[in-house]
A and B are shown apart, each in its own frame.
Chain A
Amino acid sequence: MLRGLLWFSAFLTVAVLVIIVGYIFYKGFRLINFDFIFGDYSPVGHGGIWPMIVTTIYTIVISLLIATPIGILSAVYLQEYAKQGRLVRMIRFATESLTGIPSIIYGLFGAVFFVTTLKLGMSIIAASLTLTIIVLPVIIRTTEEALKTVPPAYREGSLALGTTKLQTLYKVILPSAMPGILSGIILSMGRIVGESAAIFLTAGTVAAMPDSIFSSARTLTVHSYLVTQESGDIELAAAVGIVLIVIILVLNLSATFISKKLNKADY
């Protein structure tokens, strides 16, 4: 009986996925064509989504440019430099708390801090800075995990050769932790692509090609939300959904691929 229940639960989980993804593809696939993806947006009909794709790419690039170095260096500090103690516990508590904060709270914070206080206005940059804080804990955690897997012998060997701690870090530790770090970065991309509430409150909803990172614009997820909300166009929302799911799928697969491939190369 219990065994059956276990099989059934797993079946249910997969079924839910198949139904949701299947439904999104079924509803939206008719709209997918070259013009839809690479065309400019127009308020009439279903409109192209190229501006939203560009906006999404902007937010990914900017937030990762900021979050990646900070995240990696934080992890290096926590794993390689810090002595266990109050300070480290505090930093750990902070990163863990950041992970748990719902994105709507990040949105509120972004709206009052980046948009209003720093006078960035509803803009791609304000959204990207908000996203930076959202993905920071992800990068820190995955990098820490990756650093933990580097065998202590590597460090000892390198240091014994007379290198400084920094040289060891740069030439030995980070390169061997690279696969883990990279998959962390890719995971963060997924998080950014999927984010909506925080972006909605910080980047605004302008449906046009952004002409700089100080423009207000809408990402794919926000577009999908707004067309459902505003025009009730489920087909369009689903078509945008297909693009999103494909992006997430590609990101997931490349994360797996990279960590496997580079792992082999390294050890």
Chain B
Amino acid sequence: MPSPLSEKQIVDIGKSNKRKYILEKFSARLFLFCALLSVISLLLIIGFVFYKGAHPFIAEGYSFIDFIFGMDWVPSEGKFGIFPMIVASIFATFGALIIGVPIGLFTAIFLAEIAPKTIAKLISPAVQLLAGIPSVLYGVFGLAIIVPFLQNNLGLAKGQSLLAVIIVLAIMMLPTIVTVAETAIRAVPKTYREGSLALGASQIGTIFKVVVPAAKSGIMAAIVLGLGRAIGETMAVILVAGNSLILPTSLTDSVRPLTTNIALEMGYAFGTHQEMLFATGIVLFSFILLLNFVLAKIGSKGGK
């Protein structure tokens, strides 16, 4: 029986198969290349920021120790010390955690476990919107409401203060904590709750003794992500911090965190001053990388 296909057709099919193979191979390469672009971007970012920021210490003889632990920041006189800013960033971030974490966490628990469906349906989009509001607007709000409020009610000489920064940051980290923690709590298997309730535990007891511990790694991730958002926030903070160059000793001192130092002076800076702002960026970056590392550790623990 003769083949239904002529010889030419067979050759054609072969060719088209070959073309398909090449296309397959080519597209696989293309996809890999796209995926690698993220890696390349990250390397470029780290490379450029570190190159610019390390320059004064390598080529211009500035001491890195003096930079980190120096108390004076007077660019026009060649004094670059960012210790007060590091302290300000740390205080502001942890202060925000102290306020933001309990509220965010409780809201997440409420949404996942207690809220009647109709209420949860109303709150979830609200939290989403809170996450979407541009950070500048938090700053505008902070400057127009929180700063005068602190000034008038606490009898302060100035409302621009560590406390104002903490309040604004706590508000800004809320949506991150709520959404991530809510997802983690919802992911706890139903059988855990049923088991606990069957043993006679109350609903609240079940939530705090069984569900929350089971969602621990997700909740930790929520906190670390919120921390990242707070330490990196710039435009909202710049409007309420006061940007003073002192080592903060109380909640009412006005402060200059690392991020605002960069945004405040970047437009004006050139030469060594500009490079020192990149160096400030490196310090900030190191904090973030540390957080990512912690996050990755939490993630892998959660995986087990």
Partners in one complex: yes
User: Which A residues are closer than 8 A to B by beta carbons?
Assistant: 2-3, 5-10, 12-14, 16-17, 20-21, 23-24, 27, 69-71, 73-74, 76-78, 81-82, 90-91, 93-98, 100-109, 111-113, 117, 133, 136-137, 140, 164-166, 190, 193-197, 200-201, 221-222, 224-225, 228-229, 234, 237-238, 241, 244-245, 248-249, 251-253, 256
**B134-191 contacts to A (CB < 8 Å):** 134-141, 143-145, 171, 174, 178
B242 CB to closest chain A CB (Å) equals 14
Q: Hey, which chain B residues are within 8 Å of A23, CB to CB? A: 141, 144-145
> Are B52 and A137 touching (Cβ within 8 A)?
no
> Are A93 and B24 touching (Cβ within 8 A)?
no
Q: Hey, which chain B residues are within 8 Å of A107, CB to CB? A: 262-263, 266
Q: Hey, which chain B residues are within 8 Å of A16, CB to CB? A: 130, 171, 174
Smallest Cβ-Cβ distance to A253: which chain B residue? B125
User: Which among A9, A21, A81, A196 is the interface contact of B32 at CB below 8 angstroms?
Assistant: A81
Interface of chain A, main secondary structure: helix
B28 CB to closest chain A CB (Å) equals 6
B170 CB to closest chain A CB (Å) equals 9
**Count of inter-chain pairs, beta carbons less than 8 A:** 250
Interface residues as binary, B108-124 with A (CB distance below 8 Å gives 1, 0 otherwise): 01110011000100010
Q: Counting CB contacts under 8 A, is B37 at the interface? A: yes
The 6 A-B pairs at the shortest CB distance, nearest first, are namely A102-B232, A9-B106, A77-B31, A194-B134, A73-B34, A74-B35
What separation, in Å, do the CA atoms of A78 and B31 have in the docked complex? 9
B14 CB to closest chain A CB (Å) equals 15
A97 and B42 contact, Cβ closer than 8 Å, known pairs A77-B35, A105-B285 = yes
Interface of chain B, main secondary structure: helix
Q: Hey, which chain A residues are within 8 Å of B36, CB to CB? A: 91
Q: Counting CB contacts under 8 A, is B289 at the interface? A: yes
> Are B106 and A27 touching (Cβ within 8 A)?
no
What separation, in Å, do the CA atoms of A228 and B137 have in the docked complex? 10
A13, A71, A244 interface centre (most CB from chain B within 10 Å): A13
The tally of residues in B whose CB lies under 8 Å from a CB in A reads 82
Sample of 9 A–B contacts (CB below 8 Å): A5-B106, A74-B34, A77-B32, A81-B28, A93-B296, A96-B295, A100-B288, A117-B48, A237-B137
A20 and B143 contact, Cβ closer than 8 Å, known pairs A13-B178, A105-B284 = no
Q: Hey, which chain A residues are within 8 Å of B254, CB to CB? A: none
A245 CB to closest chain B CB (Å) equals 6
B41, B106, B266 interface centre (most CB from chain A within 10 Å): B41
User: Which among A10, A117, A197 is the interface contact of B234 at CB below 8 angstroms?
Assistant: A197
> Are B262 and A104 touching (Cβ within 8 A)?
yes
> Are A73 and B133 touching (Cβ within 8 A)?
no
> Are A229 and B239 touching (Cβ within 8 A)?
yes
Smallest Cβ-Cβ distance to A20: which chain B residue? B141
What separation, in Å, do the CA atoms of A245 and B232 have in the docked complex? 22
